[in-house]
Amino acid sequence: MAANQEEDLYEVLNIPKTATKAEVKKAYHKAALTSHPDKVPDDQREAADAKFKSISRAYEILSDDNDRVLYDQHGMAAFQKGTPGGPSNGGVDMDDLFAQMFGGMGGMGGMGGMGGGFDSNPAQRRKGEKGRNEMQQYEVTLEELYKGKTTKFASTKSVICDHCKGSGGKSDKIKPKPCGTCKGRGSTVQLVPVGPGLVTQKSVACSTCHGMGSYYADKDKCKKCKGSRTVKQKKLLELYIPRGSRQGERIVLAGEADQNPDDASPGDIIFELSEADHPIFERAGDDLHADLNITLSEALTGFNRVALLHLDGRGIQINVEQPSGKVLRPDEVIKVRGEGMPVKRSDSKGDLYLSVKIEFPKDGWLKDQAAVDKVRAVLPVPPEKKYKVGETPDVVDEVSFERVENLEGFGAGSGDPRAASAQWEDDDDDDDDGAQAQCAQQ
Ligand SMILES: [Zn+2]
Ligand SMILES: [Zn+2]
């Protein structure tokens, strides 16, 4: 498959990017069942074979936490190149990948023992192009996305040594010597782990000459960068998140990635916004959703009070009048126009949806028989049960009962897929039984 027309693994499994591990597994089971090559006529086998392979591949990557992070950040480039003996297909190479992951950004150091930095092999180096971008996930709260946020942080990055202008030498007159370690190639071959139990041969920049193929003798090296051509520099950067920004949106700090003397210009630092779950509000696009918790008395007679606090701390007052016995019912929905999330680059806002949740009184709320009679007198009288002719039961049994927490006991231990507990197991990690049960039902 050509690297530039790679398929989206999430599309292959037909799941959203936010799918949980359990959902990935479920989608894989479903896709694998419907596209298994053994189930199609001979003339379609080849296509089905390819489809099945890509489904398996998608599952393999998306079900592994590490691989999924790699895929989300770099796409299939993270897995295609660098396989032993694999042809160079012109995609992003592993050098770029590792450099993106570990280069530059402060706090991600400590990757010692893997050779001299992550400069790529000069043989593959695209000299004179823009440098690599650095991707970072940035978690934001819903409050921050509602109000907008500006944050400052210190970034440590490589900048071209201003003393030697990136040559690494003490002066222009002295020529560098060919490197003995790499015999002038600029790279050496190393075995590098690319996944659990998977190792690939990788050409890494020579640590003696920093990938140049030649280097200055100690006495001829630039005193400031000690021949490495770049120096580390701390810089204060500002990240501005406009109000109304969404999950997955990218904020680009142009040209703030590591500088490399071989690049025409440095790459960008790119932040991808990751919206944290909120305890009260759910968001979809520019709309918000929350529960509206009211009492039974309020559901029957109305209320006028601050019903919840908004993301900017404002109290949201709701006036529900219930003239002549109008009733708010459980899960009824109230829509408040213009109280959703701010719409980016505009003054308008989405809408706020509130689901009515009714809190019933606690046991023992009626103190005596007089109170019970009072409530009965106010509430509508239940209609007397009338049976149709011929349906009047001959025998009526008064039964005893107990109160239980939930339906868990319904069909428990019977192995029947319709048992309440069997449906819950389906949500667990181990859903093989659930999948079989679904098939058996059809
Ligand atoms: Zn220097
Ligand atoms: Zn060398």
pLDDT tens, 223-278? 999 888 899 999 999 999 999 999 999 999 999 999 988 888 999 999 999 999 99
Cα 111 to averaged position of ligand 1 atoms, centre (Å): 24
Please report how the helices 21-34 and 45-62 are oriented relative to each other, as an axis angle in degrees rounded to 10.
170
Rounded (5°) CA angle 259-264-268: 50
Distance (angstroms) between ligand 2 centre and the Cα of 213 equals 5
The model's pLDDT over 202-228, given as tens digits with 9 standing for 90+, comes to 788 888 777 778 888 888 989 999 888
| Ligand in nearest proximity to the CA of 121 | 2
Can you give the pLDDT at residue 412?
Answer: 86
User: How far away, in angstroms, is 167 Cα from ligand 2 center?
Assistant: 15
**pLDDT the model gives residue 338:** 96
Give residue 415's pLDDT: 86
Ligand nearest to the CA of 167: 1
Q: 3-class SS at 199?
A: strand
Cα 190 to ligand 2 centroid, rounded to whole Å: 14
> 37-79, pLDDT tens digit by residue?
766 777 777 787 788 888 888 888 888 887 888 788 777 776 6
Tell me how far the alpha carbon of residue 168 lies from the centroid of ligand 2, in angstroms: 14
pLDDT of amino acid 389: 66
Which residues, in sequence order, are CB contacts of 124 under 8 Å at separation 6+? Answer: 88, 93, 95, 203
Q: Give the pLDDT score at 440.
A: 40
Distance from the alpha carbon of residue 27 to the mean position of ligand 2, in angstroms: 49
| 90 CA from centroid of ligand 2 (Å) | 24
For 254-276, letters b (16+ CB in 10 Å) and e give eebbbbbbbbeebbbbbbebebe
Which residues in the chain come in under a pLDDT of 50? 1-4, 81-125, 426-442
| Ordered structural domains, the chain, with CATH | 118-275 (2.60.260.20), 282-357 (2.60.260.20), 397-442 (no CATH)
Which ligand is closest to the CA of 166, given by its number?
1
C-alpha 200 – ligand 2 centre gap (Å): 21
User: What is residue 216's DSSP assignment?
Assistant: -
Question: With contact defined as beta carbons under 8 Å apart, do 229 and 258 qualify?
Answer: no
Residue 118 CA to residue 205 CA, distance in Å, equals 7
pLDDT at 387: 65
Q: Are the C-beta atoms of residues 12 and 34 closer than 8 Å to each other? A: no
* Separation between Cα atoms, residue 340 and residue 311, nearest integer Å: 10
Residue 103 Cα to ligand 2 middle (Å): 20
